Chains A and B, each alone.
Chain A
């Protein structure tokens, strides 16, 4: 029972069209290809407060995305948030004394991590930890600090 020529042609065209639509959607309408290459290395940092930083949020140097957040966990002993970042291997010359801060894009925008390059000659390797971090600025804490004008402990800067 051989299907006739036109039927085979039509179903072939249908299959090709479908696959074409899949590829078009994947490349034009999703972040496919915008993901970092497979070449990446992981760096972690500890923050006292990451606010609403989310997985997959960008990691930027000078406003340019160099990586993304792989995971955010809580250290069960020190109660610090441990943020693991996945950085593109192309940017493998980041000094080891660089600092990381949780920043906000725009007034109400999404949180991201900004890296400020340091001056050390030694560069970050896979599995390294950034020691100089600055936690997120939380609006409520700022407001209450202003209202009560108390000089409580300073915002966690230069967290060990």
Chain B
């Protein structure tokens, strides 16, 4: 692949965005519904999704507990500590669940994807594939991208579930709030359409973003050890920024 001509420094971020967009188009353009694609996507779901499960669940549990702790502290001043589940549920479903899961996913799975593909580039495996007339974008990039987009919403759901459990453990188990009030506030105040489905959409977008960035930087890593390192760093930095930017955009336009 020919190295692109360097644009003026000011335009670098814009052309970078353009290259990532073109890469996405190229990747989706190579999408052919084949059994082999399903199989390799499933394998990647295991590598990026299932293997991220434990860290997501542990983090979710503690996020739920600390949310409940802080919410009870604040709400107690108004004598409204039985509203804790509403506050925890709304903030989890709408913001914290999708964003934190995507950030963790970028650190746990995005880096490993970028490093893996970067190393393939460094050891000329991708060039070899091109020589054999196998499209590496279709064979390597697409399954990882799809697996990320599928995994992140599911991971978000598990993060949210564990966070709710964490909130239950803290507010009912430790602080002794009433369990019935906890669940009924949750079921009456958290809306399925706006809060729940909105959060799932967000996490789908975040999953696509993180895996797109990871795959892109892996593919375009310099074929050296340092190049692989730079690719993983860039993946975490850019995907974290993009997650937060897109979170704001989606929240302000779609709610």
Contact = CB atoms under 8 A, between A and B. Distances in A.
Chain A contact residues, majority secondary structure: helix
Interface string B69-94: 00000000000000000000100010
Nearest to B139: A1
A105 to B, nearest CB: 12
Nearest to B92: A29
Nearest to B160: A25
A142 interface: no
Interface string B152-167: 0111011011001000
Contacts of B102: none
A22 B190 contact: no
Contact of A18 (B155, B188, B189): B155
Interface stretch (B1-9, B191-199, B214-222): B191-199
Interface of B: 36, 39-40, 42-43, 45-46, 49-50, 53, 89, 93, 150-151, 153-155, 157-158, 160-161, 164, 183, 186-192, 195-196, 200
B160 A28 contact: no
A61 B96 CA distance: 37
Contacts, number: 97
A25 B43 contact: no
30 contacts: A2-B39, A3-B39, A3-B40, A3-B42, A7-B46, A8-B46, A10-B46, A11-B46, A11-B49, A12-B42, A14-B45, A14-B49, A15-B150, A17-B154, A18-B153, A21-B158, A22-B200, A25-B196, A26-B192, A28-B183, A29-B89, A29-B160, A29-B164, A30-B89, A30-B93, A30-B192, A31-B187, A31-B188, A31-B190, A31-B192
Contacts of A17: 53, 154, 158
Interface string A27-55: 01111101100000000000000000000
Contacts of A79: none
Contacts of B49: 11, 14, 18
